Chain A
Amino acid sequence: MKAIGLIIVVLAGALLLYSTQDFPFWGDPASPAGTHTATYYLTKAFEETSVPNVVTAVLADYRGFDTMFETGVIFCAGLGCFVLLRLSRSRDEDSYYRHVATGITLHIKSAKIPDVSSEFERIDTLWTPYDLIVKTVCRLLAPFVQLFGLYVIAHGHHSPGGGFQGGVILGASVILIAISHNMRTAIGRISEKTIHILMAVGVLLYSGIGALCILLGGNFLDYASLSRILFTNEIEARSLGILGVEVGVGITVMAVMITIYNNLSSDGRLDEGL
């Protein structure tokens, strides 16, 4: 297998390298890729969408249809991880509880505690007392991380950023809580049902804005037609439409990141992980 692999790889590599001879040199400003469509985007994007970040304008408007499916791909990944891993019934496994006041640990075999009062907390199998500093710092940090995530989403028009990046940062703040405390705490803050509904709501916001454009008489995802309900001119409407879809993307990406983390790290049981 290794020899065959090596032969295939060397052959493919040689073919690839051979074919680079007709390519333009690196960084050549006159290359076809740098001039044909790129010139149009760079010269027209600002006056047509009033978004100075051309990448955002192309991403969410000129090629917004691609980006909608890109969000769809993310959604598929979240749904795929859920479908493949999530175990619907909890296996009969041992669970551990800790009496908060005394610190005594109870080991309960294949039975449920009728109701866990506030005096007991469920703990992970490999439980070690959490470090107070780590726990506190992460808890304090989480809101600021989220604030930064919102900033990245909202400021995508003017600086590098946008829905995907901001969504990942938002998701990371929840994952930070899950790592520094435990998974049950994180799920207590944002439940599985909420995550799944958010996942659908985000992409629905994106494709819904597109469908709204059809209802308002434009083509699919033609944000200019939103000007009739936003009471602005068409260029401003495009800018606002881009913001709307970026928010949708952000919500979905956040929810999917949390779903993937939860399912992968807990092997689909969503009780304890990492």
Chain B
Amino acid sequence: MTNHYPALIVVLPLLFAFVVSGVAWVKKSLCFPLTIVGMGLSAGLSVCLLGRVATTGLVEYRMGGWETPWGIGYHVDYLNALVVTVVTVLAFINLIATRKNVVEETPEKAGAFYSLYLLFIVGLTGIVLTGDLFNLYVLLEVASLTSYALIGMGNGRAPMSALNYLFVGTVGGCFYLLGVGYLYIMTGSLNMVDVATLLPQMYHSSAVVMAFIFCLVGVGIKMAFFPLHMWLPNAYGFAPTAVGSLIAPLMTKVMVYVLIRLILTVFSVDFAFVILKMGDPMVWLSSLAIVAGAVFALAQKNLKRMFCYIIVSEIGYMMGGAWLGNNTGMTGAILHIFNDAIMTLCLFLCAGSIYYRVRGLELDRLKGLFSKMPVTMACLVAGALSIIGVPPTCGFFSKWYLISGGLEAGQYGFVAALLFSSLVNVVLFFRVIEISYYGDFEDHHGHGSSGEAVMEAPASMLVPLLIVSIGLIVVGLYTGGIVNHLINPLLLKQGFLG
């Protein structure tokens, strides 16, 4: 059974998704436990898979028993295993933490909601594990389609934001598909490793260059890379609470993973950096993304929208790190995928529990919350410290790698952008903390709080939140282990020695 881990991580949530949506019509109360079981199994298996990969280096799996260029194969190395573990574990924590939000916001359609939740995770895990370019497209569409539906479930402006996201996201998916089509015309294969062996003879062909650019633009749209980020703040900001804290930490990070996978495995480092010389322009664009995200975040008056713009700027961190073209920068980027997912989840969970009690996330509604919700606010501070990059939280270490990578590569603009955004983050979170610590609490009756006094969030929300915030520090302390055992061997194997 242990050989089947890679397939089971994707297939088990899929099976449970179908069961949950069927069971919802027979016995509604079973939906949530079934979802927990499906998600938990997937998370457990991915931790086991990570353990296996850490010892063996590579786990391969052939769907239907067919050899790879003909069939679809999984080719799991350190990078896949690390990212899939983050995705499943964080989705599992979020599932538990947001139970009460779901009950409140989508009471009648909980079965369909959880089914879509699981399918979204199927999409993400499939994207991360697959070794086939077209299979990646299909799963990308599974993840996108479920996220359109989940975001559209919200009230108010959510459907319009979801529709905009759908337009932009579909164009992104189509560009990626077009890029894969170009690769297929030139090589006749869809398997990543097979394409990588066939490509070197035609690196200078304009079709391959266009294939790379189209894949890059498609993935860039889906990850909300700076000039293409317009859809993100609305889509994530107006989504239902449980959906926002699921999609925001995971979707964009997985897309950054796809980009790194394309550079490392399919097109090769030589092609991207030496032949195309894409490094410099992309790093400049990333620096712009970081600055723009930070400036937009300053202008926001709503906590969740502020977090959304912080995501835009964090995408710039990872893209910049990946395009620095040296070992340190790439290490920082991969580490930041891991860390940023945890930090973002922490922030969005805090926003979720504040919303659950206060019914609003405008900054002036946060007045005096420190005295009312001390634990939640403490977690928010932990997340904030990590985003700013204060040791010993994990955010510090990835930022350290990114900055030293930038100095190594001589990209001082990128380093300056990183420092600027850290400074802006200090201002942003200082403002939040100041309001919530020193402001006098104002009871907003009649805003749906139904008169009950605002108090600490229920334990079912607090415990996962505490786990995540402690995780921020624990992961920070184990950074050395992650870099030495998982990221360095990966970069060594890909010949990435900058």
Contact = CB atoms under 8 A, between A and B. Distances in A.
A and B touch in the complex (CB under 8 A): yes
A35 B188 contact: yes
Interface string B8-32: 1001001100110110110000000
Nearest to A198: B22
B109 interface: yes
Q: At the interface, is chain B mostly helix, strand, loop or mixed?
A: helix
A220 B72 contact: no
Contacts of A253: none
Interface in A70-93: 70, 72-73, 75-77, 79-80, 82-84, 86, 88
A16 B148 CA distance: 29
B135 interface: yes
B134 A76 contact: no
Contacts of A61: 64, 66
Interface stretch (A114-122, A137-145, A207-215): A207-215
B209 A19 contact: yes
B109 A208 contact: no
Contact of B115 (A32, A79, A193, A221): A79
Given A22-B207, A65-B63, A214-B7, A196 B138 contact: no
B5 to A, nearest CB: 11
B487 interface: no
A72 B119 contact: yes
A204 interface: yes
A13 interface: no
A86 to B, nearest CB: 7
A94 interface: no
B159 interface: yes
Interface stretch (B139-147, B348-356, B427-435, B463-471): B139-147
A199 B185 contact: no
A83 B142 contact: no
Nearest to B145: A76
A79 B148 CA distance: 12
Contacts of A37: 69-70, 188-190
Given A61-B64, A62-B66, A211-B11, A32 B188 contact: yes
Nearest to B175: A12
B61 A23 contact: no
B30 to A, nearest CB: 13
Interface in A156-208: 193, 196-197, 199-201, 203-204, 207-208
Contact of B146 (A36, A76, A220, A221): A76
A83 B113 contact: yes
B185 A33 contact: yes
Contact of B188 (A20, A23, A36, A207): A36
Interface residues of B, number: 62
A62 B72 CA distance: 7
A196 B185 contact: no
B138 A24 contact: no
B189 A36 contact: yes
Given A20-B207, A76-B145, A207-B18, A66 B72 contact: yes
Nearest to A20: B207
A31 interface: yes
A23 B185 CA distance: 7
A32 B187 contact: yes
A6 B413 CA distance: 33
B145 A77 contact: yes
Contacts of A15: 210, 213
A65 B135 contact: yes
Contacts of A33: 184-185, 188
A interface majority secondary structure: helix
Interface in B185-199: 185-190, 198
A218 B72 contact: no
A64 B145 contact: no
B65 interface: yes
A24 to B, nearest CB: 7
Given A82-B112, A219-B7, A207 B70 contact: no
B104 interface: no
Contacts of B115: 79
A214 B122 CA distance: 18
Given A35-B188, A83-B109, A88-B108, A76 B119 contact: yes
Contacts of B146: 76, 80
A79 B4 contact: no
A63 B186 CA distance: 20
Contacts of A65: 63-64, 71-72, 135
B65 A199 contact: no
A36 B69 contact: yes
Contacts of A34: 188
A70 B138 contact: yes
B403 interface: no
Nearest to A24: B185
A101 B202 CA distance: 79
B142 A16 contact: no
Contacts of B72: 63, 65-66
A83 B64 contact: no
- Most chain B CB within a 10 A radius of its CB, from A35, A197, A199: A197
Contacts of B189: 36-37
A128 interface: no
B164 to A, nearest CB: 14
B128 to A, nearest CB: 14
B62 interface: yes
Contact of A219 (B15, B64, B202): B64
Interface of A: 15-16, 18-24, 31-38, 40-41, 61-66, 68-70, 72-73, 75-77, 79-80, 82-84, 86, 88, 193, 196-197, 199-201, 203-204, 207-208, 210-211, 214, 218-224
10 contacts: A15-B210, A37-B69, A62-B70, A83-B116, A88-B109, A200-B19, A207-B18, A214-B4, A220-B64, A223-B64
Question: Which 5 A-B pairs have CB atoms at the shortest separation, nearest pair first?
Answer: A36-B188, A80-B149, A200-B22, A32-B188, A19-B210
